Amino acid sequence: MAVENDTEISQFILLGFSKNPELQLVLYVMFLTMYLITILGNLLIIMATSSDPHLHTPMYFFLANLSLNDICYVSTTVPKMLVNTQIQRKGISYKGCMSQIFFFVLFASLDDFLLTVMAYDRFVAICHPLHYTVIMNPRLCGLMILGCWLLSVLNASLEVLVVLRLSFCTEVEIPHFFCELNMVVKLACSDTFLNNVVMYGFALLLGGGPLLCIIYSYCKIASSIRGISSAQGKYKAFSTCASHLSVVALFYFTSMGVYLSSEVSESAYTSTVASVLYTVITPMLNPFIYSLRNKDIKKALNTLFVQGTTKRSVRLH
C-alpha cells in the first residue's frame, strides 16, 4: 500500500475487543456497569470527605482529588467505547483521538503524582507527627496539587505535540478500544524515533521517579513503625497507610502487568484486554479499598446516608 504523507486523515478506526454482536452486548453491559460503579463510588468519597468536618485534613483532601481524577480518568476512554458499541461504529476523528491521548496521559500522570503526594503525607504524619500540622499546611497542600497538575499538563502536552508531527497512512486501524499512545505511534508512516525517546524517557522519569519516592517514604515509615513499642500503636500507624499502600500496589502492578504483557505477547488483543485493568478496574476499586479499610470514611458515608434519608422523610411529611 502506498504511504501518504497525510496528517489530516479524517479518522482512526478503533477495533475494540470483538466483532461478535452478542459479545459486544455483553461487553457494553459490563463496561457500562463498571463505569457507573466507578462514578458513583468516587462521587461518594468526594461527598463524604467534603461533608464531614473531621475529614478536612490533608490526607482526605488528597483522597478527594484522587477520586475526582479517577472519574476524569475513566471518562476519557469508556464513554466513547460505549457510544461506538451502541451505534455499531468504530471511528474516532483525528482531533478526537489526539484529545483522548492528551487527557488520558494527563489523568494517568496525575494519578501517579497524587499517589506520591499521599505517600509523602503519610511519611510526615508517622515520622514527624509533632510537626505534621505545621509541615502539611493548607498552602503547601495547595501548591502540591498545583505542582501535580502542572507536571501532568506538561507531560501530556509534550506527548501530544510529538504525535502531531507524525504522518499517518490513509487507513489507520487501532487494535484497541481507545487511542492508546504507543499503538497510535506504531501506526505512523513517518520516523518515530523522537516519539519513542519522549515516551520512554517520560515513562522512566515521571513513572520511576514517583515510584522511588513512594518506596523511600514507606521505607522510612516502616522504620518508624518498628520503633513504636506497643502493638496497638504499630497497628494504628500501619492502618493509616494500608489503604494507600493497597491502591499504590494496584496501580503499579496493573500498569507494569500491561507493559510486560505487551512486550512478551505479540498479540494486540492480549494487550487490549490487559489494559482494562488499569484503565477501568483500578479506578473502580479505589473507592472500595478506601471505604472498606477506613473507619473514618465508613462513618462519614453512614452520616451522609442518614442525613439524606432524614431529609427525604421530612419532605414526605
pLDDT for 179: 93
Q: Supply the pLDDT for residue 105.
A: 95
User: What is the pLDDT at residue 104?
Assistant: 95
Structure confidence by residue, pLDDT tens digits, 129-158? 999 999 999 999 999 999 999 999 999 999
Q: Is 317 exposed, middle or buried (0-12, 13-18, 19+ CB in 10 A)?
A: exposed
- Strand-pair partners of 11: 93
Position 262 scores a pLDDT of 60
Which residue is it, cell 501506526?
187
Stretch 69-92: mean pLDDT: 91
| Burial (CB count <10 Å: 0-12, 13-18, 19+), residue 193 | exposed
For the whole prediction, is pTM greater than 0.85? yes
Label residue 9 left, alpha or beta by phi (over 0 means left) and psi (-120 to 50 means alpha). Answer: beta
> Cα(13)–Cα(121) distance, rounded to whole angstroms?
43
93/290 Cα distance (integer angstroms): 37
Question: Mind listing the pLDDT tens digit for each residue in 9-39?
Answer: 778 999 887 777 778 888 899 999 999 999 9
Find residue 93's DSSP bridge partners: 11
Q: Mind giving me the DSSP string for 215-271?
A: HHHHHHHHHHHHT--SHHHHHHHHHHHHHHHHHHHHHHHHHHHHHHHHHH---HHHH
The pLDDT of residue 2? 39
Distance CA 200, CA 140 (A): 31
* Residue whose entry in the numeric block shows the C-alpha cell 520516523: 191
Note the pLDDT tens digit of each residue in 219-267. 999 998 888 877 787 777 777 788 888 888 888 887 776 666 665 555 6
Domains and CATH numbers, the chain: 11-316 (1.20.1070.10)
Is the model's pLDDT at 316 over the cut of 80? no
**50 CB neighbour count, 10 Å cutoff:** 15
3-class SS of residue 52: coil
DSSP 95-128: HHHHHHHHHHHHHHHHHHHHHHHHHHHHHHHHHS
